[in-house]
């Protein structure tokens, strides 16, 4: 990509996100968009109605900086109800403009210029950009296929004297990995040993399958005091465009994040804050039902991708499944995804964009299954036709 002369050096190469690029290709080729992770069905009517009611009730001006008390209380109740984690809504809960802002504010607030942030690769794209914005250096530890496990000694050796933050994402985008309790224990041990802050991105906390349970790292001994736990209403309630996220942390740590956050957006989404509060209070049946629905879609798409010729990797959570393209006789996922919309009218995302080690991610592409069954069917039908033509 050519350098933009107006852009500062540390943002060169960040260009346009892969999601924007691929969604634009989807529109251009009228393709089935299994790229950018966004559902094609709205979330619960109760939540949508609560947003409309909040607008009519006049919740249309700036909410308080840390978020409307109704939502902060709902977030604290949610953390207690699902994880037995106690946060005081007065000074341990912060509402943000999506998880994206919470992540950015957490890094900007806690890292000096030149500090290091350790993260696992593949990593969600905003992490690299956020580190660049904050003038910090990322150090990556690779999650290795087929189970996307990591070596504890590699994690240990990624930590240096300037490491300030360990940025974790579970359930994990793009792989669908859910970190096991043992893996979390290793991460916690390293964080405590090196006195690191853990920024834990848990936006897919409710999208876990096959009877697994999401475990916030803040629940491990010695971790609550050093962890900023981040989530968002976007995925849980299928309203990704509302951008209501949040962070939970002890008062001083959260206060630091709040200071950075107030100069990013100050506040956002007043009526949606009320609606997400209503969503968080929904009965367990909603959360379980939604995960079961997505699990069925995962199975449906994974089986379809196999029949189209992909080697599909297991996905334990999120909206996503990763597939290996080597059975098609190619290994360049970026090239594959750039040509796929024109070749067969389907959009996927190349996992290489989530890696520093491009070669390691190259043969893998990510498909989302948060679409209606008939859309998944049509995507698979088109991919099969391509697979048959290329054999
Ligand atoms: N998180 C979504 C994904 O991984 C995309 C969000 C975005 O477009 N920035 O597909």
Q: How many CB atoms lie within 10 A of CB 391?
A: 9
240 Cβ closer than 6 Å to some ligand 1 atom: no
Does the CB atom of residue 19 touch ligand 1 within 6 A?
yes
The distance of Cα 113 from the centroid of its chain, to the nearest Å, equals 25
User: From ligand 1's centre to the CA of 19, what distance in Å?
Assistant: 6
pTM, entire model: 0.97
The pLDDT of 34-60, averaged and rounded, is 97
What mean pLDDT is predicted for residues 192-207? 98
Delineate the domains of the chain, giving CATH numbers in brackets: 9-42+285-390 (3.90.1150.10), 45-282 (3.40.640.10)
CA separation, residue 98 to residues 71, 219, 247, 334 (Å): 14, 23, 10, 28
252-261, 357-366, 380-389 — which is least confidently predicted?
380-389
Q: How confident is the model at residue 390 (pLDDT cuts 50, 70, 90)?
A: confident
| Contact present, 315 and 203 (Cβ < 8 Å) | no
Residue from 15, 33, 36 whose mutation best tests the ligand 1 pocket (most atoms within 8 A of CB): 36
Residue percentage of the chain with pLDDT more than 90? 95
Pair of tokens at residue 279: 């969503």
Compute the average pLDDT of residues 93-105: 98
Return the residue whose CA atom lies nearest to atom 7 of ligand 1.
19
Summarize pLDDT for 173-194 with one digit per residue, the tens. Answer: 999 999 999 999 999 999 999 9
Burial of 61 (0-12, 13-18, 19+ CB in 10 A): exposed
**149-165 confidence digits (pLDDT tens):** 999 999 999 999 999 99
Minimal-distance CA residue to ligand 1 atom 9:
19
CA of 346 relative to ligand 1 center, distance in Å: 17
As a whole number, the mean pLDDT across the chain is 97
CA distance 239 to 39: 8
pLDDT at 17 over 90: no
Ligand 1 atom 4: residue of nearest CA: 37
User: What would the mean pLDDT of 301-320 be, rounded to a whole number?
Assistant: 97
Ligand 1 pocket, residue 17 CB under 6 Å? yes
Is 82 touching ligand 1 by the criterion CB < 6 Å? no
Per-residue pLDDT band for 375 (boundaries 50, 70, 90) equals very high
Report yes or no: 122 and 143 within 8 Å, Cβ to Cβ: yes
Q: What pLDDT is attached to residue 161? A: 98
Whether residue 247 is predicted with pLDDT greater than 90 in this model: the reply is: yes
Alpha helices in 241-367 (DSSP H): 251-262, 270-280, 284-308, 333-344, 358-361
Measured from the CB, is residue 351 less than 6 Å from ligand 1?
Answer: no
Helix or strand run (H / E) with residue 73: helix 69-83
Phi, then psi, of 339 in degrees rounded to 5? -95, -15
Q: How many residues does the chain have?
A: 391
User: If you average pLDDT over residues 287-305, what whole number do you get?
Assistant: 98
In ligand 1, the atom with minimum distance to the C-alpha of 20 is: 8
Residue 1 has pLDDT above 70, yes or no: no
Q: Considering only 19-23, 62-66, 183-187, 338-342, which range has the smallest mean pLDDT? A: 19-23
What percent of the chain lies above the pLDDT cut of 70?
99
């Amino acid at each position: 990509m050519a350098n933009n002369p107006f852009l500062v050096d540390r943002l060169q190469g960040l260009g346009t996100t892969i999601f924007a690029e691929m969604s634009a290709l989807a529109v251009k080729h009228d393709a089935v968009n299994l790229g950018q992770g966004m559902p094609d069905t709205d979330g619960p009517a109760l939540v949508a109605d609560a947003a409309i009611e909040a607008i009519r009730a006049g919740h249309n001006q700036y909410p308080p900086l840390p978020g409307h008390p109704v939502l902060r209380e709902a977030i604290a109740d949610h953390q207690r109800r699902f994880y037995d984690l106690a946060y005081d809504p007065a000074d341990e809960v912060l509402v943000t403009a999506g998880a994206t802002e919470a992540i950015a504010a957490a890094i900007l607030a806690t890292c000096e210029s030149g500090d290091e942030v350790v993260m696992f690769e593949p990593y969600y794209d905003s992490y690299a950009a956020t580190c660049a914005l904050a003038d910090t250096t990322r150090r990556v530890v690779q999650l290795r296929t087929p189970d996307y496990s990591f070596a504890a000694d590699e994690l240990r050796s990624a930590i240096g004297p300037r490491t300030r933050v360990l940025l974790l994402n579970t359930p994990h985008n793009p792989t669908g990995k859910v970190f096991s309790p043992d893996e979390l224990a290793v991460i916690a041990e390293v964080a405590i040993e090196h006195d690191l802050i853990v920024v834990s991105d848990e936006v897919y906390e409710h999208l876990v399958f096959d009877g697994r349970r999401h475990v916030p790292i803040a629940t491990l001994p010695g971790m609550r005091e050093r962890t900023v736990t981040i989530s968002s209403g976007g995925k849980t309630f299928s309203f990704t465009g509302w951008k209501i996220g949040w962070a939970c942390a002890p008062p001083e740590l959260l206060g630091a994040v709040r200071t950075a956050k107030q100069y990013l957006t100050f506040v956002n989404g007043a009526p949606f804050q009320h609606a997400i509060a209503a969503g968080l209070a929904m009965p367990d049946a909603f959360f379980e039902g939604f995960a079961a629905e997505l699990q069925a879609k995962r199975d449906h798409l994974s089986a379809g991708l196999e029949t189209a010729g992909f080697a599909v990797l297991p996905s334990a959570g999120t909206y996503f499944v990763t597939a290996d393209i080597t059975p098609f006789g190619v290994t360049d996922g970026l090239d594959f995804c750039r040509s796929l919309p024109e070749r067969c009218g389907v959009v996927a995302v190349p996992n290489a964009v989530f890696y520093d080690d491009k070669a390691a991610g190259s043969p893998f592409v990510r498909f989302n299954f948060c679409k209606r069954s008939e859309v998944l069917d049509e995507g698979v039908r088109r991919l099969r036709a391509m697979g048959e033509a290329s054999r």
